A and B are shown apart, each in its own frame.
Chain A
Amino acid sequence: MMKVLEPTEIQEYDVDSVAIRVFLKALEIIGGPRKLIEFRNLTWLPSLMSASYAVVLLHESAKTEDEIAQFLGIARNTVRNILRADPELVKQRLSGELETPKKTLKAHTAGGLAKLAYQEIKEGRDYLELFSHYIQTTSEIYGVFWPIEILRRIKGLDFPITVEQLLERAADISIEDKKLSELGERLPKEIKSPSQLLKAIKEALG
């Protein structure tokens, strides 16, 4: 009998966790949940969640519009509007749209936001607050504290960032008996995401 891969070895793709990451990033793009509360737009959340799933199901799981509509329990046309949204257009319109309280979020706006968020996630820029939280948990487990401190210092910076921006805020941080300023030359000039930053520092340490 040939070797057959066991069912337990099937590496099931977890669409839920990726959709949640996209959803959270979309929230971050529009200014965080507090901003939605402020403008009385919390009713947008279900549409944003649907759009996040739709974008992930299309790009990661290669699902058709019909399959996505069936999974989310929404009309196929709504799915189509989500998936055909132009993220750049949404980006431009967003501020005005957000400031006018609306009970429902238009499918194309939700789609554009979800697409923007998905692109950000693919480039390694997750919702920074959450990223920092999990890094903190991991760092505590392994007894390595510099990643927490670095993420705390760069809070509020928009990625990509330059080494100069990084050093401006965190040059004095000690990492394994070295100051971050000593590692500056070994870091890429432009850093795309928090994860790339931490990896680059780790590599610079040798």
Chain B
Amino acid sequence: MAKSKKNIGQNVFNDYFTFVMDERENVVLESISPLKQSLKEAPQLEGVPSGIEGVDELFYITKIKDGKVIKQPLGGFPRYAVINVTGVSDTGKTLMAEQFAIKQSSLGNTTIFVTVETTAPFVSASLRERASAMGINPSSIEERIIIIDAASYDQLRDDIQTLLNTLAYSIKKYKAKNVVIDSVTGLYEAKEVMARTIVRRLFNFMKKWYQTAFFVSQKRSGHEEFSVEAAGGYAVPHIVDCNIALAKKSIDSSYDERLYGLPIGEIVRLFRIDGCRICGHDTSTRLMTITETGLVVVGKSLKELKGGGR
């Protein structure tokens, strides 16, 4: 919010000029359209590979063939969806975000990575490491992941409109298809009362620019562990399209030992898609592991585990 020494008169002029030239200003009338027209303009429902083993087949569409309902996997997150992943620390949220960005960029889809928690050099190093673990040459994706360092530049973190303007600039300049924000929580730290407003602005922005977006949300200690409630309450999950809840559980009974096949005192990570308004999705709680090379893998459902073996 620091006052710049820019020529205010010039800025007023620029605003007017942009205002005259920018056709997006007059949107109210255009926002009313009959269903038939809206359907014509509606995007095709298709998947974008997540880069996370075990996730792509969990989103599906249903078709009716010969009177029977058939599930057809999307092969990834629904395109143009805003996906929110929530969990306590060390559940693998950032790893998932990185895998998504790397996979998408390896497919030629430029991805903007807004880092709010860790500065760009560390994110860059982490992305390179993750790419190698995924069997992707880091050099091949360097031009397709654009990092916006909101951890280093306060104005991006503190002023939502500056962040949105910068995102719009980056999407146009680099022809981006995806946006990752790690984490949205960092954008309303110490002012959770604004969480809903900020996430709504981000959500609307992603829709306007036809981006598939992946938001990371952090939990506070008081939140129920395996829910999508995060900092800002339930504001975030209510707004976004899809929610994924991650949790950690300690093995503290012989029943757990048998179920998870791990000794007492160990930790298991759990994964659940907690809702997706765009398409059908798996609803089971699943075992999630982080491999030695730091990759998130989503495995069997607890129901399957109970049925026998990991």
Contacts and interface: CB of A to CB of B under 8 A. Distances in A.
A198 B25 CA distance: 13
Contact of B162 (A11, A18, A63): A11
Contacts of A62: 160-161, 194, 197-198, 201
Contact residues on B (Cβ < 8 Å of other chain), bracket:
35 or more
Contact residues on A (Cβ < 8 Å of other chain), bracket:
35 or more
A17 B194 CA distance: 24
A92 B198 CA distance: 33
Contacts of A196: 25-26
Nearest to B115: A4
B17 A134 contact: yes
Interface in B160-215: 160-162, 165-166, 168-170, 191, 193-194, 197-198, 201
B251 interface: no
Contacts, number: 126
Given A4-B149, A62-B197, A13 B17 contact: no
A182 interface: no
- Interface of chain B, helix or strand or loop or mixed? helix
Q: Which of A2, A13, A188, A192 has the most C-beta atoms of chain B within 10 angstroms of its own C-beta?
A: A2
Contacts of B26: 124, 192-193, 195-196, 199
B153 A7 contact: yes
B142 A17 contact: no
Given A11-B165, A11-B169, A199-B26, 13 more contacts: A2-B146, A3-B145, A5-B146, A5-B148, A11-B168, A13-B165, A14-B6, A21-B12, A21-B15, A62-B160, A130-B16, A188-B29, A199-B20
- Of all A-B residue pairs in the complex, the 4 with the closest CB atoms, nearest first, are A11-B165, A13-B161, A17-B11, A2-B124
15 contacts: A1-B121, A2-B123, A2-B145, A2-B147, A4-B146, A11-B162, A12-B4, A12-B165, A14-B4, A15-B159, A57-B1, A124-B26, A126-B16, A134-B17, A137-B13
